[in-house]
Amino acid sequence: MTDYSQFPILDFDPERKAIISPPTKEIPGGFPRRAVICFFKEVIEKVALEHKARKIASLSSEGGEHPIYEIEHRGERLVFFFPGVGAPLAAGLMDEVIALGASAFIGCGGCGVLDKSLAVGHLLVPTAAIRAEGTSYHYLPPAREVQADPEALQAIEAALRARGVAYQLTKTWTTDAFYRETPGKVRKYRAEGCLAVEMEAAAFMAVAQFRGARFGMLLYGGDLVQAEGWDHRDWHRREEIRENLFWLAADACLMLKTE
């Protein structure tokens, strides 16, 4: 039997009480239970402006302020925020939003694709994430993968079908080090069924499971990451795709049950 204690990243401590916990705060009118985690700052700013969003709280990091905006979507209260980039910050901010009162999350972002047949903008829905980052190991015991929430997957698929949007279910490879996506790793994780590579999904899934929240992820295919080389494909300039993805995530979020 492997002695995980000799590998600090695998030395999981199930103790629920930590020395520092996410802060709680009383929000006038209460905090909405549903939240969209959006990686597109320009979309957040556009939606906030055009829909007269109300800033109901604010998170902070050394990178600056992370405002939490509220809108009404299809008659329901919904918040959305930018989580920063990378698993440690993104997971920490999600944990803080859970402490404020949210319990159902849909994330939307871009990803690298490991198959050149996937066009820029092709929608991918992770069913599991390979834990090649570090944050998830502080929320869940060691394992190669973390599974997506079945109810969140159902909500995402229902929202996509309702809009007639094509998509593909897949595993995703979550990594901390985008400059260490080697040809060998690309081949390995592609063989395991990964069509996507990104930096946060495994951590989000782990935080949600640890805190008893719901979480699902919507990704759009961006740059091409293959053993033969890399192609940027101008993936970050797809403004319409990015905004549409936000609203698909919002629709899916409203389909999640909150308790």
DSSP 42: H
**Cβ distance 217 to 174 under 8 Å?**
no
* Interatomic CA distance for residues 11 and 86, integer angstroms: 21
Q: Quick one: which H or E segment has residue 14?
A: none
Q: Quick one: pLDDT at residue 236?
A: 65
Domain architecture of the chain: domains with CATH? 26-254 (3.40.50.1580)
Profile the chain (259 residues) by mean pLDDT over runs of 10 residues: 79 93 90 97 96 94 91 96 96 97 97 91 96 98 96 97 96 96 95 97 98 97 85 72 95 90
Q: Quick one: pLDDT at residue 5?
A: 74
- What pTM did the predictor assign? 0.94
Q: How far is CA 68 from CA 31, 71, 96, 250, in A?
A: 10, 10, 11, 15
What are the residues whose beta carbons fall under 8 Å from the beta carbon of 126, sequence distance 6 or more?
148, 169, 170, 171, 172, 196, 201, 217, 219
